[in-house]
Structure formats: structure tokens, C-alpha cells
Structure 1
Amino acid sequence: MRLIPRDEQFFDMFAQIAQRITSSVTLLHELFSNPARLQHYEAAIKDVEHEADVLVQQVNTRIDTSFVTPLDREDIHRLATRLDNVVDLIDGTARRARMFRITETRPAALKLTEVLVRAGKTIEEQVRDIKKPKAVVECGRRIKQLEEEGDALYHAAVGELFDGTPDALDVIKWKELFDKLEEALDECEDVSNVLESIALKNS
């Protein structure tokens, strides 16, 4: 029996940050679905990004004040930071869409953000099941499949930018946006790998 109980609140905080991933990628999908409301969605994503930052700050403060943590302190910090990185990348993509004055969408952007939404929901599930290694590994397998699906979409999307006689500025803008979307998917896989490592280490 522990004289000092472990601080289990960290798991709830991880779940809250993971929820911000799903919220931000859903908003980004809506942004590309309806670019006429780009500023509205960009502002909404910024609000979610700020919420995630506050949660990460709370996690880091709690690491310093908790006597007994449920996971290694380094793992807690690493996981919170990785989760937050995804939200930061989504926020960065939305800001670029606004800076580039995007007025119309591309089907590939909708497809890539739809994959990101599925990845976000899978990360939420993976965080929720962090104490169940088999479930975490299964979610990791699905994240890997989504990353591969996104990678194929990314390569096709970039190739299509150069079809015919494209406008050079359009190519530059959309190439950077597609790069950011792929980077966010790669970061989702990195989050998943961290979750697998933590789950297996603590099983």
C-alpha cells in the first residue's frame, strides 16, 4: 500500500490535450471546406491552440509539485509536448492559409484533413487506453495506416500541382500547405510511438 498516492490527474490532462487535437483538426477540415470563413476558423483554431498550451503548462507545473507521478516525469513531459506539437502544427497550417489568402479549396486538402481527423480521434482513444498496452498497440497500427494513407495523398496532391501550366504562386502556396498537413500526420505517428513506448514500459 502506498503511503503517498500517485497523482493520477495526469491521465485526465493528457486526455484533454488529445481532445484539442481532434478539435483543431476538425476545425481545419471545416476551414478548407469553407474558405470563405477562413478567418473565423483560423481564430477558433488559435483558441484551441492556446487551451492546449495552458494544459501543457499545467502538466509541467504538476510534474514539479507531485510527490509520486504515475509515469516517469520525463515521459510525462515528452508526451504532453508531443501532443501539443500536433495542435501547434494545425495552428500553423491555418495561419498560413490566412497569410496566403486562400479563397478556394482543393480536394486533396479535404482528403488530407479528413485523414487527420481520423488520426486525432485514434490518438484520443490511444490516450484513453494508455493503461492497456494491447489497445495502445492496436491504435498505433491504425495510426501507421493513416500516416501511410496520408503520405500517398500528399504525394499525389503535390504531383497534381504541376499538371498542365499551373500558376507559380498557387504551386508555392499549396505545396507549403500540403507539407504542413503531412508534417502534422507524421507528428501524430510520433505521438503514437511515444504512447506505445510508455504503455509497454509501464505494463
Structure 2
Amino acid sequence: MRFLPKDEGFFGLFDQLSARLNSSAAFLRELFQHPERLDELVAKVKAEEHAADALTYEIMQRIDRSFVTPLDREDIHLLANRLDNVVDLMDGTARRATMFHINERRAPAIEMMDVLVETCAVLAQGVKEIRNPQAVHKAARQVKVLEEKADALYGKAVSDLFAGKPDPLEVIKWKEIYDNLEHAVDECEDVANVLESISLKNS
């Protein structure tokens, strides 16, 4: 195995990985906006998930090959895995849309996706600014606000599902989708916390 000197390439790989968050979120929102294109958009989300896995693997390989890393090895590993987890959650949501034969637009899903898209964009900017603690702190605070907004949307969406005399099957499938979307935003907040911790440690 050839060891590399201090490897700054991790920052570029993190930027690429966070870009996969953005594209996955964009395709998933499009899926809920245009369920008639379900198969096409599920495939696009899956392609982003594969790309994120490949980037995460490359990061792990670089950790092993690098004699000196610009951040603690454990922090690099943690941040890469947390970013990858968000993409995995979006892929899981897309797969559920297929399993549940989603064929209608629902405003709560689109509203939650709007928040997730914005959250991923803020995270990506935070990753780009990882060496600037003030910028990362600002991004983390923005993510917290967006996570609270997603929680409120989730609560209303689930409450509306149970209003009146709902179809039990519709409740089951849409509640699981809303659960997954809310979980994805929660995971973004976890990423932001990890990012802020790393940035402060290395400032």
C-alpha cells in the first residue's frame, strides 16, 4: 500500500458527497411533485445513492492510505458516514414510494421535501466552509431552524392523515413516508452537529 503525505483531498471528496445530498433531495422532491414519473425518479435517486456509497468508500480508502490526515481519522469517518446516511434515507423513501405504488401528489410530502432540499443545500455550504467555524456555526443554526420547521410540518401531516374517516391503507403508507422524510431532516441536524464539532476542534 502506498502511503500519501498529508492528504487535503478529503475536502474535495466531502464536497462531492454533499453534492449528492443536493441531487438526491432534488430528485426525491421531483418524485413527489410528479408521481407519474415514479420509476424514472426512483432510479435517479438510486444512482445518487450508489455514487454516494462510492465516494464514502473512497474516503475510507484514503484514510487507510494517508500518513497524515487534515482532520482526525475518526472525525473523517464519522462525517462521511453521516452524510452517506442521509442519502441512504432518501433512497429508502424513494423505494417505499415504489412499494406503496404512490400515484398522487400530496402537499405535505412536497412541503417536507422543500424543507429537506433547503436543509441539504445549507449542509453542503457548511461542508464547503468546514475550515471556517463561524460559517459552519451559522449553517448549523439554520439547519436547526429547518429541522423545527420539518417537525411542525410532520405533526400536521400525520394529524391530517387521521382526520375524518381515513382509508387505513393510505394512512399506513403515507405515515411511513412522512416518518422517513422527518427522519432524513433529523439526520441532517446530526450531520450539522458533527460538522460544527469538527470545525471547532480544528479552528
* TM-score normalised by L of structure 2: 0.97
Aligned to 2:40, what secondary structure does the other structure show? helix
Q: How does 1:1-203 map to 2 (within 5 A)?
A: 5-203=5-203
Q: Deviations over 1:166-197 (max 9, x none)?
A: 10000000000000000000000000000000
Shift of 1:163: 1.0
Shift of 1:6: 2.0
Matched residue type, 1:140: A
Shift of 1:164: 1.1
Aligned to 1:67, what secondary structure does the other structure show? coil
Distance (whole Å) between structure 2 residues aligned to residue 82 and residue 103 of structure 1 = 31
Matched residue type, 2:63: I
- Contiguous gaps of at least 5 residues in structure 2: none
Distance (whole Å) between structure 1 residues aligned to residue 5 and residue 24 of structure 2 = 34
- Contiguous gaps of at least 5 residues in structure 1: none
Shift of 1:105: 1.8
Shift of 1:5: 4.8
Matched residue type, 2:83: L
Matched residue type, 2:89: L
Aligned to 1:164, what secondary structure does the other structure show? coil
Distance (whole Å) between structure 1 residues aligned to residue 134 and residue 5 of structure 2 = 26
Matched residue type, 1:29: R
Distance (whole Å) between structure 1 residues aligned to residue 81 and residue 14 of structure 2 = 10
Matched residue type, 2:183: E
Aligned to 2:95, what secondary structure does the other structure show? helix
Q: CA RMSD in A?
A: 0.8
Matched residue type, 1:166: P
Distance (whole Å) between structure 1 residues aligned to residue 88 and residue 74 of structure 2 = 21
Percent identical residues:
56
Shift of 1:121: 0.4
Shift of 1:16: 0.4
Distance (whole Å) between structure 2 residues aligned to residue 157 and residue 12 of structure 1 = 38
Shift of 1:127: 0.3
Matched residue type, 1:162: F
Distance (whole Å) between structure 1 residues aligned to residue 75 and residue 26 of structure 2 = 27
Aligned to 1:91, what secondary structure does the other structure show? helix
Distance (whole Å) between structure 2 residues aligned to residue 92 and residue 75 of structure 1 = 25
